[in-house]
Amino acid sequence: MKQSAVRRPTIGWHYVGRGSSARRVLAYRGTLSGTALRVHYGFDGWEEPIREARLESIGPALAVAELPNVDDRVAIDCAITDGENWDNNHGTNYRLWIGFDALDAHLHVSGNGSGALGLGSLHTAMASAGMVCGVSSWVDNRALDRVDCAAAGLFPLVWIRPGETSRIEVEERLASGAVGLKLHPTVDDFPADDHALDPFLEIAAEAGCPVACHSAPGDADPDHIRRLAERFPDVPVILYHTYLGPAEGRRRAARHVCEQPNLYLETSWCQWRTVERLIAEVGADRVLFGSDASIDGMAHYTRQPPNVEGQETYNDGLIPLIRKLGVKVGGKLMGDNARRLFGLNGNSHGE
């Protein structure tokens, strides 16, 4: 039986009232309670001045605060206090995006454990970056069987190993809720255009689901991935990382996407200016945000020293990126494109 041993993030948006008169408020469902609850917050990466607002209880374990001057901002970063104690998400704080529900298209979870790749670390990391849900995989498909993915806000992929994974297993997992396939040529030692993958791409074509493929030098080179996509033009193929290597590989990956209509880019470990350039090159509908969380544990999106090419954190880089893109294009990058490709519209596992 699937079990979820970890609570979902405790900060989210809540709507008070109905119809056109409904008001969006910050909602807290956390460990602190009482009449002295306050939200300590800053806009867009803790820009000064830092503010506080009182949280009002409106139901069992639910307190809300209406924050002014929200709509012209990108995000809210915050923590909760009762005057003596703090709920600061294990020191990583909480983030809420304004204008869209953020989805991370590249997550990993190894089970319900407490390590860097356990469900607890992933939930803390996601809450720190305002990710309401995400697409997840692991090298052992059975590990995800132990996680209540719906309760955890996760959409699983089926990890494919040519010669080991059976067609029956893939079909059963897709029928049970998996939303696509995952290929990792580097880890599993096969070229990304191996014809042994064809039976699995045929399943993906029949199911109408995408295939996410690690891209990097060697067996996972974008040239190989393009050849695979050319054989199955009806299957969306996503180049995870765009290319985990020198800039030359990312330029080739972008060129392939421009020329091959069923190829898409995912941005884990790319600096924000690189993401901006990729969107300019291939179009706003062809790029998905992903982070590879929680490879770096609870602080994956906020880690110091910076973990994105040693130059920036995800949380720091996303603020100027979304400012430059605007909410409409930013919303495509941060969730709309992934929801469309993975068929998640109306099923976001969000708040």
Tell me what pLDDT residue 5 has.
36
Q: How far is CA 100 from the centre of its chain?
A: 13
| CA dist., res. 11 & res. 96, Å (int) | 8
CATH top-level class of 102-342: alpha beta
| CA dist., res. 173 & res. 171, Å (int) | 6
Tell me what pLDDT residue 4 has.
34
* Structure token digits, residue 194: 């191996």
- 326 Cβ contact list (under 8 Å, min separation 6): none
| CA dist., res. 345 & res. 336, Å (int) | 8
Tell me what pLDDT residue 17 has.
74
DSSP sequence for 291-314: --BTTTGGGTTT-SS--BTTTB-H
pLDDT, averaged per 10 consecutive residues of the chain (351 residues), comes to 45 82 88 95 97 93 93 95 96 96 97 87 97 97 93 96 97 97 98 98 98 98 98 98 96 98 98 98 98 96 97 98 97 98 74 44
Tell me what pLDDT residue 9 has.
57
| CA dist., res. 9 & res. 11, Å (int) | 6
Tell me what pLDDT residue 52 has.
97
Tell me what pLDDT residue 347 has.
60
Tell me what pLDDT residue 129 has.
98
Tell me what pLDDT residue 8 has.
58
Q: How far is CA 262 from CA 174, 234, 256, 267, in A?
A: 20, 7, 10, 17
Q: Which regions of 222-344 does DSSP assign to beta strands (E)?
A: 237-240, 263-266, 287-288
